[in-house]
Amino acid sequence: MVVVWLLGLRFAPRWAVPLALLAAAVVTVTTADGAVGSLAPAVELTAPTLT
């Protein structure tokens, strides 16, 4: 992602950040182990305690 950002900064400064964001999204979606599913929020019940 940093490489994409640096190349974008060099050749298309206006689009450097959107390109890096797109690269991060592609890496997240194509990562193995179902990484996208682990990004979703999950509800967990906890017992209240006084500390």
What is the per-residue pLDDT for 29?
79
**In the chain, domain spans:** 2-30
- A 10 A CB-CB count for 32 gives 5
In DSSP notation, 15-31 reads: GHHHHHHHHHHHHHHH-
Look at residue 8 and tell me whether its pLDDT is greater than 70: yes
Look at residue 3 and tell me whether its pLDDT is greater than 70: yes
Confidence bin at 51 (pLDDT 50/70/90): confident
Could you read off the pLDDT of 15-49 as tens digits, one per residue?
A: 999 999 999 988 877 876 655 566 677 888 999 98
What is the per-residue pLDDT for 7?
94
